[in-house]
């Protein structure tokens, strides 16, 4: 489950019980008239009647007077008043939210339910409230201000504009994991050193390299999170800064060739090392954006240094692939992926190209 996921809602009545109703029941049980209560409390009959008719609140001073006159603790009257006002506000808020329910059509609610982030319910308003809680906003307009405001959207990848609901959901899932990840303050030099170590993990299985990757990144101020893709947001990865001392790299999990996974990780690492702390960078796998192209080049050069890369297109056999991979200290899949991209020979050497097997989280 996502940390800080929205809990299942407790029963919320669609009405509010006024403390005046309880007061009327109390004095009737005591055989006391409103006039007599006024005498006992020093309050005017009009004030008593206004409280009973929900037109005047029970103040702290009034609660103390009622305690002496009825034997019912002042704390109870205060709590009744507080709960009544809170429920009135909630009911008014629900009515307002109900008019914005169409927004849910843009959010992958079924995905959130399947991941146990929000509870399935036929109450559209309750569902809307739960989804807003997941995003940490009070209203649909607040969500739009946070995710779609031009000044904010300008710092996000272009792909966000085509699928904002799905993309925002995927990023928020990663953000919630990252918020709970313990990290030391960011250190650029240590992060680059950690990348050199992680590069050597490319030969390992997921069970071996995932915990080491997370630990190494956390020690340098980078929260590394893995989140299964969402329909409408099939991105390879994303990176951004939570604070000036904590960066996030979010990677998709399923159906990834090994070389694609590692290229995506080092691509996002390139953004963390070399780009602004104000942007949200999303790797769609497409070329043409200068910032993305720069991150692609960083990943390519880090995995296979330029002085070795020239040999890749001329590989002729599995043994040559294995020998170059051993020389570089990386997985053969990375060499094969580079070969296929550069030559367009997508079926070559696939016997050595691995798919990663992910355990369900």
Residue 45, SS3 per DSSP? helix
The residues that bridge with 280 in the sheet, in sequence order, are: 156
Verify that 62 and 192 share a domain, yes or no.
no
Query: Alpha-carbon distance 231 to 250, whole Å?
Result: 16
Q: In this structure, are 331 and 199 located in the same domain?
A: yes
- Rounded (10°) CA dihedral 288, 294, 299, 303: 110
pLDDT at 7: 43
pLDDT of residue 290: 80
Contact 120, 8 (CB under 8 A): no
Residue 8 is assigned to a structural domain of this protein: no
Q: Is 294 helix (H, G, I), strand (E, B) or coil?
A: helix
Check which CATH number belongs to the domain holding 41 and give it.
1.10.260.40
**Which candidate, 93, 100, 121, places its Cα nearest to that of 109?**
121
Q: How far apart are CA 58 and CA 52, in angstroms?
A: 10
Cα distance between residue 171 and residue 237, in whole Å:
10
Q: Are residues 310 and 180 in the same domain?
A: yes
Neighbour count for residue 333 (Cβ, 10 Å): 25
Residue 116: Cβ within 10 Å count: 13
Note whether 143 and 36 are same-domain residues.
Answer: no
Q: Please tell me whether residues 332 and 232 are part of one structural domain.
A: yes
* Main-chain phi, psi angles of 169, to 5 degrees: -65, -45
Within a domain: 228: yes
* Whole-prediction pTM: 0.79
Residues 196 and 134 in one domain: no
State the residue range of the domain holding 26: 19-98
> Residue 130 CA to chain centroid, in angstroms?
13
- Could you tell me where the DSSP H helices lie in the chain? 19-29, 34-41, 45-52, 60-70, 74-98, 109-114, 124-135, 140-147, 150-153, 159-162, 164-179, 188-200, 206-218, 258-274, 290-303, 306-309, 318-328, 332-343
Give the β-pairing of 237-243 and 246-251.
antiparallel
The backbone torsions φ and ψ at residue 251, rounded to the nearest 5 degrees and listed phi first, read -120, 140
The pLDDT of residue 225 is 95
Are residue 193 and residue 261 in the same domain, yes or no? yes
| Strands across the sheet containing 222-226 | 222-226, 246-251, 237-243, 281-283
113 shares its domain with 79: no
Residues 263 and 282 in one domain: yes
**Residues paired with 317 in a beta bridge:** none
pLDDT score of 80: 95
Q: Does 281 fall in a domain? A: yes
**Nearest to 164, CA basis, from 107, 230, 117, 249:** 107
The separation between CA 198 and the C-alpha centre of its own chain, rounded to angstroms, equals 26
Rg (CA), the chain: 30
pLDDT in tens, the chain (361 residues): 454 444 444 446 666 789 999 999 999 999 999 999 999 999 999 999 999 999 999 999 999 999 999 999 999 999 999 999 998 888 887 777 777 888 999 999 999 999 999 988 888 888 898 999 999 998 899 998 888 864 554 455 566 666 889 989 999 999 999 999 999 999 999 999 999 999 999 999 888 999 999 999 999 999 999 998 888 888 888 999 999 999 999 998 765 789 999 999 999 999 999 988 887 888 776 666 788 889 999 999 999 999 999 999 999 999 999 999 999 999 999 999 999 999 999 999 999 998 887 665 4
CA dihedral 158, 155, 5, 125 (to 10 degrees): -70
If one counts the domains in the chain, the total is 3
């Amino acid at each position: 489950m996502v940390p800080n996921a929205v809990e299942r809602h407790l029963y919320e009545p669609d009405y509010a019980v006024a403390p005046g109703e309880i007061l009327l029941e109390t004095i009737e049980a005591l055989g006391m008239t409103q006039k007599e209560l006024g005498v006992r409390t020093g309050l005017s009959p009009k004030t008593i009647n206004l409280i009973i008719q929900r037109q005047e609140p029970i103040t702290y001073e009034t609660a103390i007077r009622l305690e002496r006159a009825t034997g019912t603790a002042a704390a109870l009257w205060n709590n009744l008043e507080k709960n009544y006002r809170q429920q009135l506000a909630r009911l008014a808020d629900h009515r307002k939210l109900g008019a914005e329910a169409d927004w849910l059509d843009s959010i992958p609610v079924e995905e959130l339910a399947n991941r146990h982030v929000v509870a399935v319910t036929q109450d559209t308003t309750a569902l809307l409230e739960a989804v807003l809680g997941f995003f940490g906003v009070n209203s649909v307009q607040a969500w739009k201000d946070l995710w779609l405001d031009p000044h904010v959207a300008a710092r996000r990848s272009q792909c966000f504009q085509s699928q904002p609901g799905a993309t925002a959901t995927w990023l928020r899932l990663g953000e919630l994991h990252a918020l709970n990840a313990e990290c030391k303050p960011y250190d650029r030099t240590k992060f680059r050193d950690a990348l050199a170590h992680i590069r050597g993990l490319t030969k390992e299985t997921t069970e071996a390299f995932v915990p080491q990757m997370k630990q190494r990144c956390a020690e340098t101020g980078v929260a590394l999170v893995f989140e299964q893709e969402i329909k409408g947001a099939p991105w390879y990865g994303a990176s951004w800064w939570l604070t000036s001392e904590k960066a996030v790299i979010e990677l998709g999990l399923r159906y990834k060739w090994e070389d694609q996974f590692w290229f995506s990780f080092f691509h996002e690492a390139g953004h963390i090392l070399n780009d602004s702390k104000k942007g949200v960078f999303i790797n769609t796998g497409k070329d043409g954006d200068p910032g993305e192209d720069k991150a692609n080049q960083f990943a390519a050069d880090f995995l296979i240094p330029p002085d070795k890369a020239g040999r890749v297109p001329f590989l002729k056999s599995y043994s040559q692939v294995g020998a170059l991979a051993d020389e570089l200290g990386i997985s053969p899949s990375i060499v094969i992926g580079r070969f296929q991209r550069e030559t367009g020979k997508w079926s070559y050497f696939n016997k050595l190209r691995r798919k990663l097997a992910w355990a369900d989280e």
